[in-house]
Structure 1
Amino acid sequence: MTSAESRDDGQGTRVPGGPGWYTDALTLLPVIEDLAEFRRANASDPALRVLEELWSGRPEEAEPLASALVEEAPTVRHRALLADVRRDLGRIAWAVGEYGQLLEDCRGTAREAVLWQHLGKAHFVGGDLREAAEAFSRALQLRVFEGADPALVASSRVAHQRAEALLDRARR
């Protein structure tokens, strides 16, 4: 991990995210650090309330909101958000299954890399580090190949390195 990819601010290692949020490099989950800034930056996003609850550590509050979004508009993004919510509620098998279906639906599209990344997070949270590392590796390869935003490449690289480091530790 290079200093361009993350920083240690004394509270743990952070991977830059967007306005008002970052990714925790240990858990690989997004965290809102400035709610007002986050709300300003995402004011027009119909999923704002879901993100706010989920990324503030309240998946039980996010679930009915995410379910309603999917019912109203079952887009790939809304289905992925519901999978993230259920992942954080401990419903790992459901989340992995939904991401598997989304990957089948989106193979070869611009969404494939982000779906691999989120599948990796579901495996990571569920403790399946081997599958997590493989999914993060695929996300990283696709993002590099596609010339994705450097922050997205860094996010995949950090996630892959974290999963691999924990796998190495478990092997010892």
Structure 2
Amino acid sequence: MFPKFLLTAAVLAFAAPAIAHDAVHVVDPYARAMGANARTGAAFMVIENHAATDDRLIAAVSDVAERVELHTHKADANGTMKMMEVPEGFVVPAHGNHALARGGDHVMLLGLKRSLAHGDTFSLTLTFEKAGEMTVEIPVDLERKPDHAAMGAQKHSH
């Protein structure tokens, strides 16, 4: 007969992948591009982690762009904000969230293959270290006002 703790451990081991994937949720996603002929765009959202352990967003892909990268803004020595890739991704803390917002961390869409018109949607697949892949439908919202708390009061450049 199986000891009860081994049976419980076996059940939890098989249930863990389903629980881990259900633990990550994307809230309020949207994307923007600067103009009809823009070659770049960005996607923003809040990633919630309902799990008891941290997770990490490590990659994103979409057929709307030639390349998709995880980016952030950092101040240089002069206080000018510069955008840069974050190859290690973004930690989403246990029982917490991580905001991808204008002027901060975001998903960068490079080499757009089509224009992103207001009201359009496209698929974006996010890859997490623990939760695995999750595909999200991203609406294009060109009218949304920036979140000034996330952008700060510094100058921005690419």
TM-score of the aligned structures, taking structure 1 as reference length: 0.25
TM-score of the aligned structures, taking structure 2 as reference length: 0.26
Bigger helix fraction: 1
Bigger strand fraction: 2
Larger Rg: 2
